[in-house]
Structure 1
Amino acid sequence: MSNEPMKIPVNYVETAEALKKILGLKGSPVAIRFAPSKEDIPAGMEELDKTIRHCSMVNLARSEGKVFYAPSGKHECNGGAWSLGLREITPTLKTGEFYFKLGKYDSAAACKRTIDKVPHLGSGETYATLYAPLEKTPFTPQVILIVTTPRNMLKLAQSTLFRLGGRIHTEFSGIQSVCADTTAQTYLTGQPNFSLGCDGSRKFSGIADDEMVMGFPAEMLPEIVGALKIVVGAPGSK
């Protein structure tokens, strides 16, 4: 999978600054890329020096401006690593036992029905996940994540419909919100997705009680930023 620039050039510094200014973001939009092999990691990028969850990695880029990559061994959460294509699903996750023991479902069967529908890349497809604040990204992003307030999510939702209209079909299940809902699903479908967050991401990654998560394909950056500038100033906007 080539890391060549997109054929329609995007100024990541300008688009990041526009998103931060228009939405008043606390932190940066986060650029993410899946590297299928070690050779796909840009020269000079450093491997993360600790083992944490994908959602916590997103927070490092969002809140601390960190640029890094994380192979499978640096991913603490098995569910996140599986959904991102870094490793096989664990037996307890596959059967539903894991989330059932956490008290999230009335039965292991209910949990399994949910797990079976969690979006995920093929196991072993990903060697490492790459992270950066959008304005500092040394790689061509595939997914952009934004963590912000419901009001801002409304404006982002309106911006995704600005050109063609229609309806937004978002999917989430209250688990694996940052890894599966807004990273893996967005990458696999090529469509924006919104998530309420999950207990793990809210506990470990700095998502506040008054914030949500959105992922959208990096190819949509110019369209979303251009629409946002109009939508937020429209006569009908709050």
Structure 2
Amino acid sequence: MPSAMKIPVNYPETAEVLRKYLKLRGSPVAFRFATKKEDMPTGMEKIDKTIRHCSMVGLARNEGRIFYALPENHECNGGAWSLGLKEITDSLKTGEFYFKLGKFESAASCKRTIDRVPHLKTGDTYATLYAPLEKTPFDPQVVLIVANPWAMLKLSQSNLFRTGGRIHAEFAGIQSVCADTCAQTYLNGQVNFSLGCDGSRKFSGIEDGEMVIGIPTEILPELTEALKIVAAAPGSK
């Protein structure tokens, strides 16, 4: 697979910096949307089961697995829809799905939330690709990190290091790993922090004391250089 980045990124070195300075449990995860079959890296294997997107991220993070998934491999319809793999179901579109799960006062309040969930156009994605960042055989579009709030603090400071400003995280307590940190980060090119939803905490190994962040790959070199400085700063904990 030819490089999809004009300025190459040293992924093993970047992963080592992230793991060292953030004291990570597990690997940063490389994620990519493949738009057509021809985009697939040579030699990548298709996952051999049907599970949730967040669980796939967990396999790359915790077990070092490298694989791709087609629509039929995605168990969670909400996740598959937000990633551009499947049509939205009627129960999700109307708000009935999360209303029945007890997450909202009414189907209407649920629908207001669903209508604002970041998502790719259905059919835009042929497959989703996953790998630990240090071993990725493809150029990711998003890098996902699951870590504790202290590590997220360092990432926030690193993100603001050069230009300053404010962090504007956007999430809804649902579809954290799929919509909040993959789809949204890919679509707007901005770092996004999310709390981890009930599903991702249940199925992907996100612990009670951990959060998730999506980082556009284009800013990784600058972010990791800033992280080295921020983590060693006199006022850093």
Q: Structure 1 stretches of 5 or more lacking a match?
A: none
Q: Is the 8 A contact 1:92 1:98 kept in 2?
A: yes
TM-score, structure 2 normalization: 0.99
- How does 1:6-45 map onto structure 2 within 5 Å? 6-45=5-44
- Shift of the alpha carbon at 1:57? 0.2
Counterparts of 2:97 and 2:42, CA distance in 1: 38
* Off by >4 Å, runs of 4+ in structure 1: none
Q: Structure 2 stretches of 5 or more lacking a match?
A: none
Q: Please state whether the residue corresponding to 1:146 is helix, strand or coil.
A: strand
> Residues 155-210 of structure 1: CA distance to partner in whole angstroms, max 9, x if unpaired?
00110000111111110000000000000000000000000110000000000000
Counterparts of 1:3 and 1:67, CA distance in 2: 18
> Residues 28-87 of structure 1: CA distance to partner in whole angstroms, max 9, x if unpaired?
000000001111110100000000000000000000000000010000000000000001
Counterparts of 2:4 and 2:93, CA distance in 1: 37
1:135 maps to 2:101: no
- How does 1:140-159 map onto structure 2 within 5 Å? 140-159=139-158
> Residues 80-120 of structure 1: CA distance to partner in whole angstroms, max 9, x if unpaired?
00000001100000000000000000000000000000000
TM-score, structure 1 normalization: 0.98
Partner of 2:186: 187
* Pair 186,203 (structure 1): closer, same or farther in 2 beyond 3 Å: same
Partner of 1:59: 58
Counterparts of 2:217 and 2:28, CA distance in 1: 11
Partner of 2:80: 81
- Identity across aligned pairs (percent)? 75
Give the residue type in structure 2 aligned to 1:134.
L
Q: Is the 8 A contact 1:47 1:68 kept in 2?
A: yes
Number of paired residues? 237
RMSD across aligned positions (CA): 0.9
Counterparts of 1:116 and 1:200, CA distance in 2: 19
- Shift of the alpha carbon at 1:3? 5.3
Partner of 1:214: 213
Give the residue type in structure 1 aligned to 2:174.
I
Give the residue type in structure 2 aligned to 1:230.
I
- Shift of the alpha carbon at 1:4? 2.6
Counterparts of 1:5 and 1:81, CA distance in 2: 24
Q: Please state whether the residue corresponding to 1:85 is helix, strand or coil.
A: coil
Q: Is the 8 A contact 1:3 1:40 kept in 2?
A: no
Counterparts of 2:68 and 2:25, CA distance in 1: 23
